[in-house]
């Protein structure tokens, strides 16, 4: 196993790695909308938070030497499923066909009170 880290995404806020590379797979930990420079949650609503989450996810994927085109599976966690369409529109701008497999679930709360979190499995 190899630990993947980058300064272009927020450092882990707990006992976990930004990503782990094992064999031909990369497991990217849940990304929340923290600005990697300030360490603060981005201002704005779900659109701004979704963009930052995907930027963070992309930074970790690229740190492993691959691209978003190789993302095989994404899990999306929302605190309000009413945000699904807005999140989906932004999400679609980061990927192209064939799109990753995906799950999207509503949860009661996320770390630091954010509105959205995503993790991913990537083929290397």
Which residues are tagged catalytic? 104
**Radius of gyration of the CA atoms of the chain, in A:** 13
Partner residues linked to 120 by β-bridges: 28, 74
Check: CB of residue 104 under 8 Å from CB of residue 76. yes
In angstroms, how far is the first alpha carbon of the chain from the final one?
Answer: 13
């Amino acid at each position: 196993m190899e630990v993947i880290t980058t300064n272009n995404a927020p450092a882990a806020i707990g006992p976990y790695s930004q990503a782990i590379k094992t064999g031909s797979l990369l497991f990217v930990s849940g990304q929340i909308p923290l600005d990697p420079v300030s360490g603060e949650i981005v201002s704005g609503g779900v659109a701004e938070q979704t963009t930052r989450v995907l930027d963070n996810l992309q930074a970790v994927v690229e740190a492993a030497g691959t691209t978003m085109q190789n993302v095989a599976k994404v899990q999306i966690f929302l605190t309000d499923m009413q945000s699904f369409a807005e999140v989906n529109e932004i999400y679609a701008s980061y990927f192209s066909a064939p799109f990753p497999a995906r799950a999207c679930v509503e949860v009661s709360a996320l770390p630091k009170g954010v509105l959205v979190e995503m993790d991913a499995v990537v083929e290397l």
